[in-house]
Structure 1
Amino acid sequence: MAGREWNPLRRLLALPNESRAKTILVAFLVSAVCAALVSGATVLLRPIQAANRAAEEQARIAALVEGIPGMAALLEQSGGTLSTVVIDLDRSRAATEVTPATLDAALGDPGNWTALDPAQDLAGLGHRPNFAQIYLLRDGDDVSLVLLPLSGQGYGGRIDAILALKGDMNTVAGIAITGHSETPGLGGRIQEASWRSSFPGTELRDEGGDMRFRVARGPASDVHEVDGITGATRTGRGVTQMVRFWLGPDGYGPLLGAIDRGEF
């Protein structure tokens, strides 16, 4: 009479293939081995996956910004690493509870908008969002370019734009008009490259820190002005007020000060 087999693996293998116990145990062992392999692969691949996600995010941001007319060449000239961040405008710093992915949902909440009184409301918005997504181009630790979304009322309706500022947070690098309802051939010329070409090099504030930017009624006469558009005075005034509001104390002004001081 053969002695009893004490090796559990051999005892398992000796069971009939139709045995329920054998089926369950084999399935458990296969699952355990697969889980261990997957866990090990996850640990080994995690740095590669993180790098791939970062590269994908960088490509997504670049594609989004370069889709704005006139910005691709500007980014190429400036160099550096492009990133995006949602700003808490009340605190003039990066938002902790809102991300680019959740920004639209956050702005769907009326509680995330601030009512503006007439003295504040230079841009004619009525309400200002508490959060805004901006883009930063960094060269090492320094911000070399910042892209800021703007909106305000023109003659025909709302004007939307992206304003690019150089690293001194005072010199305009360029502007893109992303939406408007101005009269074709008149105010609608704000979308033309010939008008937008007067923006680069314009300085927003004077040496005393006072906001001086404006769209002139005719050709620009100093470093704080851009060319006006004949027959579109109200459109020019709308652009002036839009820029002054958003780069002032109720818009990005405090944030730009923090960036200029190296605090952001």
Structure 2
Amino acid sequence: MQGSVVYNLGFAAVVCVACAIVVSSSAVALRERQEINQTLDMQRNVLMAAGLAAPDERLEPDEIGARFAPITQVVIDRETGAATGADPTGFDPRAAAADPDTSETAPPNNAGLQRVADQALVYELRGDGGALDLVVLPVHGLGLWGILYGFVALDADLETIRGLTYYEHKETPGLGGEVDNPRWKSLWNGRKAFGPDGAPAIEVIKGLAGPPADDPYRVDGLAGATMTSRGVTNMLRFWLDEQGFGPYLEALRTRRDG
């Protein structure tokens, strides 16, 4: 009888250990898969902003990787615009912005930002000889219901917008959620980010804008979503200005014109 009890206890212990190993292994595998999917989704959105993938295009992971391969990820110092040399694969922009040791209180702004990271991750596509073809900048700011996270791409002239895309937001479907609409996103290509004085001039208006050639600084508003439209304008103007990527863009201009 005693041997039977010992056997049962031992068997139960072995089963528990085995189950724990299986659960732990499954959790690790799931976390790794989630991280891979997040990376692929981020890369796909960078490609869409850059015009290297269509919003409705279904891409397999290997195709996303192949199209993203020519793009260089660079960690920059936000205040100077200089590359830091930090490993981009280990850089977490949101964690950096939330950590007081790697961020600072945001200057007064209309984008709803409380803190901004000292460093930022940008994406550069260069041609043969190292000439800049385009740059993709991460942007985020407050909409109606929360923070929108996305990317804006600028052509080699660092003035013309190649594209804009959002990969995370809480806006109302059919209203502010129309930031996901391919038709609305297509309106950004060819618009100008900066006015004649060099200051950010792009804005989402109430109503309809003309074509880029006639109305370069304005984009159609989102019907019934005034706060979201205003939020898109505010975040773009913040991140394109001196407190955002202004120093980095100026460094690129100097390198291009030097």
TM-score higher than 0.5 = yes
Tell me, yes or no, if structure 1 residue 138 matches structure 2 residue 115: no
Match of residue 213 from structure 1: 202
* Secondary structure of the corresponding residue to residue 73 of structure 2: strand
CA distance in 1, matches of 2:254, 2:46: 30
* Secondary structure of the corresponding residue to residue 94 of structure 1: coil
Report how many residues are paired: 201
Task: Provide TM-score, normalisation by structure 2.
Answer: 0.70
Match of residue 247 from structure 2: 254
1:97-119 deviations in whole A, cap 9, x for unaligned?
A: x321332397263211110232x
Match of residue 117 from structure 2: 129
Kept after mapping to 2: 8 A contact 1:167/1:260: no
Contiguous gaps of at least 5 residues in structure 1: 1-61
Match of residue 45 from structure 2: 68
What do you get for the CA RMSD once the two structures are aligned? 2.8
Match of residue 107 from structure 2: 117
- Label 1:72 to 1:236 Cα distance change in 2 as closer, same or farther (>3 A): closer
Give the superposition deviation at 1:198: 0.6
CA distance in 1, matches of 2:194, 2:233: 13
Tell me, yes or no, if structure 1 residue 229 matches structure 2 residue 219: no
Amino acid at match of 2:193: L
Kept after mapping to 1: 8 A contact 2:76/2:82: yes
- Label 1:192 to 1:69 Cα distance change in 2 as closer, same or farther (>3 A): farther
Q: 1:161 aligns with which of 150, 156, 161?
A: 150
Larger of the two Rg values belongs to structure? 1
Work out the percentage of aligned pairs sharing the same amino acid. 36
Alignment of 1:1-264 (within 5 A): 66-68=43-45, 71=48, 74-75=51-52, 81-96=70-85, 98-104=86-92, 107=96, 109-118=99-108, 121-139=109-127, 140-221=129-210, 222-262=215-255
Give the superposition deviation at 1:261: 2.2
Amino acid at match of 2:118: N
Amino acid at match of 2:206: R
CA distance in 1, matches of 2:89, 2:175: 37
Contiguous gaps of at least 5 residues in structure 2: 1-38, 55-66
CA distance in 1, matches of 2:49, 2:81: 27
